[in-house]
Structure 1
């Protein structure tokens, strides 16, 4: 009997020792759903430098104009709109403040231009990061933000895509935080219009970063890449983008006469041609947008 009891006790101990260890929970903000690091992202077929455009009513979301609006395109630095959306979420929730210090890693410092020229081991504030993304479109800063919020750029890109789906951006996939060339990173003009409207509606106080005309850092000054801020009446943001495969991209927000439109041009042949087309679209379709009522709605 004693021998049987000893054997049973040994079996029980063995069974307990084979149980898997309890895993530590990830910090808040770094948790990802099961399968987040899923199968490799496929490379879709995208026509390089192909034109697409959308204009939507900023109040109702109604589409006023569309040309190839749902066709896949490369976002280039329009990507940083989503990087800023996730940064604004942290600022709005109080998890970061404008003065929060963000570390610059070797990985971030290695990114090519456009950049601030940050040195590995240095630090910048969240305020400088937001202005650098909106004004300079700084690739090194995009990685700084990604690593601060998600631990790595890869993990952050997954969060970007998850947020895109939550906002209704059904055809957008992000694999980096900057928009540097990667054939797997795609979007549509419609999706970018959705994101532009979400930034304006969800973060009205933080959205003003997109209207910043210039940025000075370490003795250097850069002018906002969105030249329409100074050239087209009513423009209050938001973002330009360019890589060779995308052509010249622009998402613009225009408020005038109680009306508001979000317009997207992708695949411009030059910055000047893109801006001219954007101006034409705004002047044509802003009059067709709904007007804000007497009481603000």
Structure 2
């Protein structure tokens, strides 16, 4: 019968340290006042916190993020361009809910419409973009769902391009995290749209609906949303001290709580990956070299690490040296 390979002390250390990070965030953040939440350190690919992260909830205007993602894919494929002038249809102009103030016959660049979606959360701008890119909202929604499947958003289904209430349109905090992570990685240009303080069209100035813009240190996105069935949603992304975090909160009771909880979750995350991590390493007596190896080993789960015989020989030699040191001490 073959002997089972015992986990190496280093692997046990990695597991223990990750548990420390999870506990640190949970202890500092506590329960989030919302239906669902999740937090990831994108730098390492580690989930730092989750609360009912797979609960199905309407995405509301977070839908506009994947709509912009699909449109940017079309630009990347050279099917259109940021400076392409779009003529607004009557259908787009009469779209209700939050609006950018478009009128039938208006002519705007795709670039300006992106600001209308990201800053003003314009449902009318979303329809105008969808019709330009795919010919109709229905055809555009097909692309949205296809992209969602490619991103592994298993519990998400889109019915429209803007997020207005629609039967069967649902997502989860975990799926929104996957979407936001891929979107920002593929299109760094998106940052300029989501961080704009305001946008003006037809003489009307609309401030950014995201209250964290301009007020949270290191913020680099992303979007808020609300419908009655969901509550108040937000995807908040920020970067500090070499770490990028993505927080998703779905179903907060009001705008104030939504913003406060997003700040609290991000703050807890940054504390965990900096102070808490350093403290945990120090308390465990890990050397600087081992800490560097630990950081290097913390890769996203989806990335495959190529097998190499050299590290195994090195590890065996290290174990032998460690054993020799132990004998000399006793």
TM bucket, shorter chain: 0.7 to 0.9
Q: How far off is 1:205 after superposition?
A: 2.4
2:139 matched to 1:155?
A: yes
What SS is found at the alignment partner of 2:177?
A: helix
Aligned residue number for residue 206 of structure 1: 190
Looking at secondary structure, tell me which structure has more helix per residue. Answer: 2
C-alpha deviations, 1:67-121, integer Å up to 9, x for none? Answer: 0101101100000000010111123333322220112112111111311221223
Aligned residue number for residue 256 of structure 2: 272
C-alpha deviations, 1:6-28, integer Å up to 9, x for none? Answer: xxxxxxxxxxxxxxxxxxxxxxx
Q: Aligned runs of 1:200-279 on 2, under 5 Å?
A: 200-279=184-263
2:75 matched to 1:96?
A: no
Note if contact 2:191-2:220 (Cα within 8 Å) is conserved in structure 1.
no
Aligned residue number for residue 61 of structure 1: 45
Q: How far off is 1:128 after superposition?
A: 0.7
Aligned residue number for residue 143 of structure 1: 127
Q: Aligned runs of 1:59-208 on 2, under 5 Å?
A: 59-208=43-192
Task: Give me the whole-angstrom Cα distance separating, in 2, the residues matched to 1:232 and 1:50.
Answer: 20
Structure 2 residue runs of 5 or longer lacking an equivalent are: 1-32, 278-291, 300-330
What SS is found at the alignment partner of 2:138?
A: helix
C-alpha deviations, 1:10-51, integer Å up to 9, x for none? Answer: xxxxxxxxxxxxxxxxxxxxxxxxxxxxxxxxxxxxxxx961
Q: How far off is 1:249 after superposition?
A: 0.4
Task: Give me the whole-angstrom Cα distance separating, in 2, the residues matched to 1:63 and 1:120.
Answer: 45
Note if contact 1:260-1:289 (Cα within 8 Å) is conserved in structure 2.
no
Note if contact 1:199-1:207 (Cα within 8 Å) is conserved in structure 2.
no
What SS is found at the alignment partner of 1:119?
A: coil
Q: How far off is 1:287 after superposition?
A: 3.0
Task: Give me the whole-angstrom Cα distance separating, in 2, the residues matched to 1:97 and 1:89.
Answer: 10
Task: Give me the whole-angstrom Cα distance separating, in 2, the residues matched to 1:78 and 1:289.
Answer: 27
Task: Give me the whole-angstrom Cα distance separating, in 2, the residues matched to 1:287 and 1:168.
Answer: 29
Structure 1 residue runs of 5 or longer lacking an equivalent are: 1-48
C-alpha deviations, 1:236-264, integer Å up to 9, x for none? Answer: 11000001111110001010111110000
Pairs aligned (count): 247
Q: How far off is 1:197 after superposition?
A: 0.7
Q: So what's the TM-score if we normalise by structure 1?
A: 0.79
What SS is found at the alignment partner of 1:132?
A: helix
Task: Give me the whole-angstrom Cα distance separating, in 1, the residues matched to 2:101 and 2:249.
Answer: 29
What SS is found at the alignment partner of 1:143?
A: helix
